[in-house]
Amino acid sequence: SRNDQVVLDMKLYALDHVLYLAYFIENLQKSILKFAQENSDVIIPGYTHLQQAQVVLLAHHMLAYVEMLERDKTRLADCFNRTNVLPLGACALSGTSLKTDRAHVATLLGFASVAANSMDVVSDRDFIIELISSCSITAMHLSRISEDLILWATKEFNFIDIDSSFCTGSSIMPHKKNPDVLELMRGTTGKIYGNLMEVLTLLKGLPLSYNRDLQLDKPPLFETVETTQLMLETMAKLFLNLKVKEDSVAKHTTDESFFCVDAMDYLVKKGVSYRDAHDVLGKMVKECLDKGIKISHLSEKQLKGYHPLFNDDVKKLFNPQSSVKIKASFGSTNPSLVKQQLQAWSKKLDA
């Protein structure tokens, strides 16, 4: 029947393109990892609420992207396993009275198992929804990465230089270098979300088993897969040509407010409660800002005026290199731990 034949074709398409997508995701991971390794000593501001928070290694930030994309690969692997079920032999909806060997057909076509219910399998498009959903999450990750890079390329941030091949000029302002490729990726994500909603809405009211409505599931799937692959391929090329403006980045990490948590931890390690340490540093920062002086320029006597357990050695904490080095928890921005993560990812992605 066309019913089980078309589902078969769609499953074969989905299985192939899950593998292609996983390949393109891994290729992007490798590009990001290469960029991280080439800039492993660079320290950048980290943000919460888009406000400067604490300093982190740029490589640590990049590894966050690698982790995101790894989850995308595992989602695709799950999608592959649930798609890898043979529909052929279900016929129109009830099976057949003719002698068939569905298990043998499954082996010939490379399917892991045979669908157990003929009515379900001819009307099932869950695998399409799941694949588009996986692509939607991947696109969301690419959009978030794009947003970071767009911000970092502005004059206000000035962290990176995006290669001109991924930018355009202005029709009226000759000095402009607009990150159009990243903006289009960010915008295209909405299109992929729309495809997901289209198929979900298409299926929500269908009775069992086959209905002609299901003919409309193909355009959103094809567009989603092809667009996601293009986005992944483009982002990988962009990272291979991305440059860091190290001098500019360094200027952004001198604000001593970045290191307040380190000074709080200094007191906590000496037995001060976290609540009290927080109050001490809050008062210190406010008064130093009001007076226009740096905490690192305070005398030991002035430091002890805020808390008797402060000594001159606390001032050594007020620099970006010290801030990243004193982090000790697994998964933190500590340079030694980040180096281990870079090596582990390099080994994993080269395997």
The pLDDT tens digits for 117-165 are 999 999 999 999 999 999 999 999 999 999 999 999 999 999 999 999 9
Read off the pLDDT of residues 259-308 as tens digits, 9 standing for 90 and up: 999 999 999 999 999 999 999 999 999 999 999 999 999 999 999 999 99
Q: In angstroms, rounded to a whole number, what is the distance separating the alpha carbons of residues 162 and 175?
A: 15
Reduce the DSSP state of residue 85 to 3 states and report it. Answer: strand
Q: What is the DSSP string of 263-302?
A: HHHHHHTTT--HHHHHHHHHHHHHHHHHHT--GGGS-HHH
Contact 252, 41 (CB under 8 A): no
Residues of the chain with pLDDT > 70, as a percent, come to: 100
Taking CA atoms, 194 is separated from 11, 133, 198, 312, 315, in Å, by 22, 11, 6, 59, 53
CB-based burial of residue 173 (10 Å sphere; 0-12 exposed, 13-18 middle, 19+ buried)? exposed
Average pLDDT, rounded, for the chain? 97
What region does 16 belong to: left with phi over 0, alpha with psi -120 to 50, or beta?
Answer: alpha
Pairing state between β 113-114 and 160-161: unpaired
Active centre residues (catalytic): 49, 170
Within its chain, how far is the Cα of 305 from the centroid?
45
Res 166: pLDDT: 96
Tokens encoding 291: 């007076």
Q: Decide: helix, strand or coil at residue 89.
A: coil
* 185 touches 235 (CB < 8 A): yes
pLDDT, tens only, 77-118: 999 999 999 999 999 999 999 999 999 999 999 999 999 999
With pLDDT > 90 as the criterion, what percentage of the chain qualifies? Answer: 98
Asked if residue 168 lies in contact with residue 105, where contact means CB atoms within 8 angstroms, the answer is: no
User: In this predicted structure, what is the pLDDT of residue 301?
Assistant: 94
The answer, yes or no, to whether residue 351 has pLDDT greater than 90, is no
Element (H, E) at 55: strand 51-57
Where do we find the tokens 């930018």?
167
Q: How confident is the model at residue 222 (pLDDT cuts 50, 70, 90)?
A: very high
Q: Give the mean model confidence (pLDDT) for residues 11-31.
A: 98
User: What is the pLDDT, as a whole number, of residue 312?
Assistant: 93
How many CB atoms within 10 Å of residue 328?
A: 9
